[in-house]
Amino acid sequence: MEVLINGVFIGALYGLYGLGLALTLGLMRQINLAHGDFIVFSAYLTLQGSLLLGVHPLMVLPVVAVVMFVVGFVLQRLVIQRTLGRGEMPPILVTFGLSIILQNVMLELFSADTRNLNPGPLGAASIEIAGLSLGVLPLLTLVVAFAIFWATSAVFGSTKFGRAIRATSDSDQTAQLMGIKTSRIFAVAMGLTLAISAIAAGFYGMRGNFDPSTGPERMLFAFEAVILGGVGSIWGALAGGILLGLSQAAGSLINPSYGPLVGHLVFLVVLLALPGGLMSLRRRQ
Amino acid sequence: MTRRSRVAGMTRREALQGLGGAAATLGLSSGLAAPALAGSDVLRIGYVSPQTGSLAPFAESDPFMLQKVRAALASGLTVNGKTYEVEISEVDDQSNSDRAATSANRLINGEEVNLMLAQGASTAVPVSAQCEVAGVPCITTMDPWQGWMFPQGGDPAVGFEYVNHFFWGIEDIISTFIGMWDGQDTNKKVATVWSNDPPGKVFGSKDIGFPASLGAGGYEITDVGEFQVGADDFSAQITAFRNAGCDIVTGLFSPSEWAIFWRQAQQLGFKPKIATPAKALLFPAGIAALGNGGDGMSTEIWWTPAYPYKSTLTGQSSQELAGDYTATSGRPWTQPIGVVHALWELGINALKNAADPMDPDSVQDVIRNTNMTTIIGDIDFAGSPVKNVAKLKIAGGQWRLQPDGSYALKVTYNAAAPEVPIEDTFKLGVGI
């Protein structure tokens, strides 16, 4: 039972990875293949900040999120924006190149050493609920994930900015006719996705280890969470992430090495049976 | 990646570089590298180690050690009345076995090294394999000898022609761990967690690994399967161990994997009386990452400053070598320092005593018949029952939290290495 609950906790983290991707993929119709590497990069920034200032990683996290927002804004404005409107391939190729560049820059800057963020006493803390021993850090991850999903969904669902983004993604030209500065809107949205990834990176780094080459695996989990949930749905990414985490936990109950395998298998089955993802079930009703 | 050091005098290549322009020598030096060797009096040593990557802690002291060795060889090496310059080419394989193989190949064919030294769990085998084929004498360490010999298709009774290895074997670590646990007040239920990689397979092997010996020693094993290297979720294993009421936990972890395992064990309420992970707690950084939770955790010991031996290279005692390292680097001593130092002692010893240090067979002949006392104790290739392998003795010990919040490693068990003084008695309870 506790194993499965832990699966939900991990799933929430996968959902957070997926959220950034869900926004770029579903709402902006562009794929950021360097998503995983940006997560790892944020984790390194958090580590450096926390070592430099001698404070808990959670204290540095908001600053890193702001930094990554700026990075995302500039990146979209200066690089990705230039590739849009020429079909699907250019943004994919550009972000693929970015992924390789980022991995090698991180290798240069931080070496190939495996690192993690030290959560201090928070990491070992646990509380007992109904006879089950639950870690405080994983619980906190779950709460933060829900809060971020709620905030994102509120921003995109009911603000003027959210409407502008959705309008831009539906029809770039019509949105421009309505007086929306589409390039600026996309830049802000990209900034947001990287800021969310930075938060995910903080919790990822406190949970496990990272090195410059672990980005693509984060990317894989993020993709699976998004596809499982259904492209274009914000809450779908969370549902998909949790389903993925649960499947991995169930797999690890059979044999600890089977966890990732079962996760991928479930992904495959859902993709075959429900190509629209979990959220397509709700839409059909 | 390769750094070259000139130890004494001026090499022919440098003389040429002085004459030609910088641009011209780029082309010249590569063309001259091979022919320059024949008949010259420069001995070349290749050294491959994981200076970065997951195994970096094992090579942490390399810059310090290389500096020591180079200083010791500053006036060259005199063999049979002839003085040779010694050049050391060091390569970082980034803890990657493919890179280790390529680097070894380059050192053999590009630099034409006379002796190869290498250390690292993912380095020893690929480097040895290249040297055996090329006929270059080689000494490696930092990998249990079974994990070095069998992947190369070796037979303990036959051995190899040019490659040699010194380290402990799986049997030594098993007897040390069980020796530490025997006689302690536990329910003899042992939780084991092995990694899904070659060393983990050896540890968990039913024939030569822990399962057979634990069963024979009256211990009951709980094991739910191997974990993938780099795993960040151990809740399935921990829940099973907690529910089985295991008093002892052991396994093969990297320091960062063990930190995650222990964090999740605390979250899930698994509280063993004894925690003895192999590999993870060799390093001060590994135990420091656990905060106050690591007090009383136990580990195997390869070397500590308390070892009563002296270096044949520098004349320093163990205590002095460790102190020198801390003074130079500002970091606490680590166990691999002794082992890496011994590797250099063995390598230099082989060149110094060879009839002709340029001749691979003559160097290999010395290594095969070596029986010397190094900073980590006796290394005996000559009398070893396993061909081309010498075993180092290991002890067992516990990390103790000091009043100032740091940790000290105390030797508590020395059945296999009685010369090493016992510093404390084994205490039950972890993180209290």
* CA angle at B143 for the pair B138 and B149, rounded to the nearest 5°: 65
How far does A124 lie from chain B, in Å, by closest CA? 5
Residue ranges covered by each domain of chain B: 2-168+304-391, 171-301+395-413
Pairwise CB contact (< 8 Å): A211 & B268: no
Chain B residues whose beta carbon lies within 8 Å of the beta carbon of residue A116: 256, 259-260
Nearest chain B residue (CA) to A1 = B239
Asked if A217 and A36 count as a contact pair (C-beta separation under 8 A), the reply is yes
Is B263–A256 a contact, with Cβ atoms under 8 angstroms apart? no
CA distance A112 to chain B (A): 4
Cα B389 → chain centroid:
14
Q: Which residues in chain B are contacts of A142 at CB distance < 8 A?
A: none
With an 8 Å Cβ cutoff, is A136 touching chain B? yes
Q: Do domains B2-168+304-391 and B171-301+395-413 have the same CATH topology?
A: yes
Give me the CATH code for the B2-168+304-391 domain, please.
3.40.50.2300
pLDDT of residue B296: 92
Rg (CA), chain B: 23
pLDDT on residue B4: 52
Q: What is the pLDDT of residue B277?
A: 94
- Residue B20: what pLDDT? 43
Residues of B in contact with A118 (CB under 8 A): 289
pLDDT in tens, B243-298: 999 999 999 998 888 988 998 898 888 999 999 999 888 888 778 878 778 899 99
**Strand B42-49 and strand B82-92: pairing?**
parallel
Q: Please check the confidence at residue B402 and state whether its pLDDT lies above 70.
A: yes
> In angstroms, what CA-CA distances link B143 with A280, B260, B279, B345?
53, 24, 11, 18
* Residues 6+ positions from A12 with CB-CB distance below 8 Å: A141, A142, A145, A146, A238, A241, A242, A245
> To which CATH superfamily is domain B171-301+395-413 assigned?
Response regulator (3.40.50.2300)
Q: Which of B233, B260, B283, B290 to mutate to test the interface with A (most CBs of A within 10 A)?
A: B233
pLDDT at A284: 54
Say if residue B26's pLDDT is above 70. no
Min Cα–Cα distance to chain B from A120, Å: 7
Give the one of B52, B196, B268 whose C-beta lies nearest to A112's C-beta.
B52
Whether pLDDT at B71 is above 80: yes
Q: Give the three-state DSSP class for B410.
A: strand
The answer to whether B224 faces chain A, any CB pair under 8 Å, is yes
pLDDT category at B64 given cuts 50, 70, 90 is very high
* A113 touching B (Cβ < 8 Å): yes
Judge if ipTM > 0.90: no
Helix (H), strand (E) at residue B155: none
Q: Report CB contact under 8 Å: B227, A256.
A: yes
